[in-house]
Structure 1
């Protein structure tokens, strides 16, 4: 069985290259999300020879005040990857002072010049409806909601658009998380660790544990591993076809 991890912060581990090599040795596909265009640029060359690890161009909303989005650099780096993440909006406390700037940044990141041949890994905490409205407005084709925690009514709207969800073990271990996963159609489910920000058995998650985590999902949701990997392959194929249509 082939496994994958659709959202992991490799550069937040103590030895990122060592971790990437672990993904390679276990033959686990990994989407290495970044938090700034500057970090993507810094690490780009180091990860080009990996077969299973792919680098995503990101801009985390939590960094909005500290690091204004460099539009020119984002534009330059976007041509070097098929993946954009982690990006989005965070209004989890319902009173973000920079909410408008976050929305402007996300509108820029999802504009049509990028979104036709990119796959997005999206942070949407506390701003799920605003995120969805911008995705629809910009006609984004391939969006994956990372660690969704929002309303079921918004989830249903996301499902109508056939956007996907990457779920992790923290969700599996909470009643709210399980309820959300149950509401997602199987054909829209993907797997993530969000490592190192999730733990399993009181340890930061590493690639060796991923088959165990998939088994935990299989125990709760029939054929999760097989279905999620089929969804993953289908998502990549759709992106490839859209890229060819664009040219």
Structure 2
């Protein structure tokens, strides 16, 4: 049986299935609570508001029963280090230029927000792109040699980072720069080993990326594809595409382990 703290968390969100959804696991069963990865404790605390010391007192007490600050800190650091990877999921949108990936992303974001799912995006662009304009103060700072320039206002802030002959950052390094969200939609990075939904448009007159990319899990297309052995949905059915993205999204930690193999 789950322990008292977990039962309190289940009640706080209205059931086991809802708790599983909020912390990003596919199986709603939460038996054998003391065997789950310690990184999930903070995920449950964030989702339910139940304090981690109640959820897992065995993790947050010293062996002799005292409140040893060093023991608490070591365990806390271990959990916090895994927090992003345990809660944030990632899924890609792949397709030829002109297939409508960006248009699709702009339609998907409101759908996810309406479902209570927070979203961030990561887009791979051509090497010469720029968000700044000559003559602006921030542009002049970079031209003078600054490695990073932060521009801030009451409504938003942005940071521009110049690589200055460094190697291009990989996808996971960039994802690590994001604040925690439920879902990261990645446009591009098609050579990276993580699940993707292919966006295919007949007017492009291009071949499918599938089956040459084994990480393509499904296809959104504006035509019938009877030869494809993957799930295929109408490119205009945004809700169905959102369902597929959620179905095949994986944690950042899963991607890291795949790339390490």
Question: Which band: TM-score by shorter chain?
Answer: under 0.3
TM-score of the pair, normalised by structure 2: 0.27
Tell me which of the two structures has the higher relative contact order, counting C-alpha pairs closer than 8 angstroms and 6 or more residues apart.
2
Q: Say which one has the larger Rg.
A: 2
